[in-house]
Amino acid sequence: MTVYLDIIWALNFMFDSLLLYLTAIILKREIRLWRIFAGGLIGSIIILLVFTPFNEYSGHPLTKLLFSVAMVLAVFGFKRLRYFLKGLMTFYFATFLVGGSLIGIHYFINFDFQLSSSVMLASVKGFGDPISWLFVLLGFPLAWHFSKRNVEGIEMTKIQYDSLVMVRVVINETEFRFKGLIDSGNQLYDPISKMPVMFISVKDRLDEFPPEIIKMAGNPEDIIMGSDSIGGDWEHKMRVIPCKVVGQEHQLIIGFKPDRIILEKENEIIEAERGLVSFSMQQLSADDAFQCIVHPKMLTGTSTMKQDAKVS
């Protein structure tokens, strides 16, 4: 049987290098390419051991673990034990993620080939099944890209989750609750009072709000121009605020001064000392992850711990 050792070695070298590169992306570590290729080269040596007197040891789990340790050390080095173990575990995570994606794709499209001849299981039998090799050659980059995109998506979800707070707005002794996103890009202030402005969407919750708020959210231009009114009890708390949005240089919005703005963040309760809210019919989050955009300045108010607040 003819064994195309150079092709098998080259594929494993490429795959190991890509897995190490994916590991560096997940860990957000800037690594030089030559170190990644060095790690891939070390990992590909295990294929060559199949054709040496150490053949019986090449497939042993301890041997694979030692090669994995050498690969991670070659790429990331050793600064401290925790740093190294994090790199090693992330490398295995990336390997299982891409490998699992390949196996999932295989069963989904149901290619008819024997897994015993698949290079994924390191069973070297000549050139191998042409279908399996073609599948791995095409499927591995797709699985790698899919894994990378999903890791980035998970990271963005975590970042967004860490920026979410529970918002309680008290208006005329009535409390409304929202999920809020802390947006550092929101730098809108009332130019006169210098109060920060929070945006609140009332879409899909119209039955919870009084008609005055619904009117402010639905027809702000009519109220600003004086063609419509919301009553004196509400108008004395109203502010007209100029702002800039994408596509429009100048725009006027209505800001309303609530009685209280309370933010709950992890184990902390923050009461904003000053602030305005602007109601809108526009949905702020496509997946309804949040209903208001919180001005970061509001987080500088009086802060108490949740346990302390309960005791008081």
Question: CA angle at residue 308 from 304 to 312, to 5 degrees?
Answer: 110
Distance (Å, rounded) from C-alpha 140 to C-alpha 15?
Answer: 8
The catalytic position among 183, 222, 233, 287 is: 183
* Cβ-contact 133, 127 below 8 angstroms: yes
Is 183 an active-site residue?
Answer: yes
Can you read off the two tokens belonging to residue 288?
A: 């309804």
* Cβ-contact 294, 199 below 8 angstroms: no
Distance (Å, rounded) from C-alpha 104 to C-alpha 138?
Answer: 14
User: Could you give the strand order of the β-sheet that contains 164-171, starting from the edge strand earlier in sequence?
Assistant: 238-245, 248-256, 276-280, 197-201, 292-294, 174-182, 164-171, 260-265, 268-271, 302-305
* Cβ-contact 121, 47 below 8 angstroms: no
- Residues marked active site are found at 183
